[in-house]
């Protein structure tokens, strides 16, 4: 089956910084592909590059970026605008960045539908009401007349999800949509997204720094570091058999309640994320990696740990799997 999103060799550079360095990923219908990494790894830039929303000082290139088989990389802005909000929708960490404080929820939700679908006001209101109900907002009629500031953070996030779904998109890009929320609300929002996906076959590209979320919602995982995908595979493989020293290190340093060892320091990854300037060569992680050797200064091969599970490191699978970072 043709993937909903198929990205090959995407590169994004800002003046003096290579933010995304040749990443490829696919999202299948009805699946969630999580891109996970720490701040500055290029995960948000990746999502903005796919949406065609990069700032003007960025340069973007790729072999292709296909949405439902159609290359959208070279579409003129006018046609991209028609895609965004209809076939391609995005939600962000802070709902207030996508909700206009000066307009009611109802007018913002219906505008999307009327503009893209040419629907009547009445049909748009009907759809908005139904969707708000679907995302668990009670008293939807009343909410439509409210302004964003009148809603709690969890409600705003639900409204933003409903708004993103107004035109039945094929792909939803979610960039840290629950990071600003309390843990109980986060679980509710994630479970909502999963059930909406089950109903509609929506493909989700989910960007996050939180491996706990990834473990619970991802079908596929891509771990990003310094602008590259350093490991990718099915979620079960990434969590049970992580290969890349960065993935292994990241998993080790998460404190899990009820599993602490008293007085023992948490494993951590020394150092900081490097700034990747043009001409950078070798492994981006080598300065922080306990297993680095001279070989890490050269081009790094992509190796297969198993079918469909790849990592970018010079360690052969047996050594990578044995390493304790």
Shortest spacing between CB 115 and other proteins, in angstroms: 31
Report the nearest approach of other proteins to the CB of residue 312 (Å): 18
Residue range at the interface with other proteins (CB under 8 A); choices 42-50, 53-61, 105-113, 204-212:
204-212
User: 298, exposed or middle or buried, with CB in 10 Å at 0-12, 13-18, 19+?
Assistant: exposed
Binding positions for other proteins, 209-238, rule CB under 8 A: 209-218, 235-236, 238
Quote the least distance from Cβ 303 to other proteins, whole Å: 21
Share of the chain residues as helix, strand and coil, in percent rounded to the nearest 5? 35, 20, 40
Interface with other proteins, residue 187, by CB under 8 A = yes
Residue closer to other proteins by CB (options 61, 152) is 152
Q: Is 114 in the site for other proteins (CB under 8 A)?
A: no
Backbone angles phi, psi at 259, to 5 degrees: -130, 20
Among 153, 274, 282, 317, binds other proteins (CB under 8 A): 153
257 binds other proteins (CB under 8 A): yes
Size of the site for other proteins (CB under 8 A): 51
Among 56, 57, 97, 138, binds other proteins (CB under 8 A): 138
- Phi, psi dihedral angles at 109 (to 5 degrees): -70, -40
* Residue 222 vs residues 90, 158, 266: alpha-carbon distances, Å: 19, 26, 24
Q: How many residues does the chain have?
A: 325
The one among 255, 278, 279, 299 contacting other proteins by CB under 8 A = 255
167 part of the interface to other proteins, by CB under 8 A: no
Q: Which of 118, 115, 113 is nearest to 129 (CA)?
A: 113
Tell me the closest approach of the beta carbon of residue 217 to other proteins, in angstroms. 7
Q: What are the backbone angles phi and psi of residue 157, rounded to the nearest 5°?
A: -65, -35
Residues 265-294, one symbol each (x = binds other proteins by CB under 8 A, - = not), give xxxxxx-xx---------------------
**Segment lying near other proteins (by CB under 8 A), choices 63-71, 79-87, 255-263, 304-312:** 255-263
C-beta of 233: minimal distance to other proteins in Å?
A: 11
- CB 16 within 8 Å of CB 277: yes
Neighbour-count burial for 99-128, b at 16+ CB within 10 Å, e otherwise: beeeebbbbbbbbbbbebeebeeeebbebb
Q: Which of 183, 294, 307, 324 binds other proteins (CB under 8 A)?
A: 183
Q: What are phi and psi of 277, to 5 degrees?
A: -95, 160
Least separation in angstroms between CB 181 and other proteins: 9
Which CB, 86 or 325, lies closer to other proteins? 325
Quote the CA–CA distance of 162 and 129 in Å, as a whole number. Answer: 9
Contact criterion met (CB below 8 Å) for 190 and 213: yes
Provide, rounded to whole angstroms, the least separation between the CB of residue 178 and other proteins: 10
Contacts of 58 (CB under 8 A, 6+ apart): 12, 13, 14, 19, 45, 49
Which residues in this chain contact other proteins in the complex, by CB under 8 A? 38-39, 136, 138, 152-155, 182-188, 190-191, 194, 209-218, 235-236, 238-240, 249-251, 253-258, 260, 265-270, 272-273
């Amino acid at each position: 089956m043709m993937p909903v999103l198929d990205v090959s060799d995407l590169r994004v550079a800002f003046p003096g910084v290579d933010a995304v360095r040749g990443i490829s990923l696919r999202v299948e219908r009805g699946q969630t592909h999580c891109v996970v990494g720490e701040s500055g790894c290029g995960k948000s830039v990746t999502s903005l590059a796919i949406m065609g929303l990069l700032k003007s000082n960025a340069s973007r290139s790729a072999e292709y970026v296909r949405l439902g088989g159609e290359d959208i990389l070279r579409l003129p802005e006018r046609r991209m605008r028609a895609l965004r909000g209809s076939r391609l929708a995005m939600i962000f960490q802070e709902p207030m960045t996508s909700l206009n404080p000066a307009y009611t929820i109802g007018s913002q939700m219906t505008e999307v539908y009327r503009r893209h679908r040419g629907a009547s006001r009445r049909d748009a209101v009907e759809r908005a009401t139904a969707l708000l109900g679907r995302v668990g907002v009670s008293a939807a009629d009343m909410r439509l007349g409210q302004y964003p500031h009148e809603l709690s953070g969890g409600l705003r996030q639900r409204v933003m999800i409903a708004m993103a779904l107004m035109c039945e998109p094929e792909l939803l890009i979610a960039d840290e949509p629950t990071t600003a929320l309390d843990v109980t609300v986060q679980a509710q929002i994630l479970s909502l997204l999963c059930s909406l996906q089950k109903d509609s076959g929506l493909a989700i590209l989910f960007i996050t720094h939180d491996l706990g979320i990834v473990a619970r919602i991802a079908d596929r995982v891509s771990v990003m570091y310094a602008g590259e995908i350093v490991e990718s595979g099915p979620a079960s493989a990434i969590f049970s058999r992580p290969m890349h020293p960065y993935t292994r290190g990241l998993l080790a340093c998460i404190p899990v309640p009820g599993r602490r060892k008293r007085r023992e320091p948490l494993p951590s990854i020394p150092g900081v994320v490097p700034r990747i300037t043009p001409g950078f060569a070798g492994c981006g992680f080598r300065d922080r990696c306990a297993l680095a050797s001279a070989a890490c200064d050269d081009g790094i091969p992509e190796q297969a740990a198993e079918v469909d599970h790849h990592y970018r490191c010079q360690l052969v699978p047996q050594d990578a799997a044995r390493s304790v970072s």
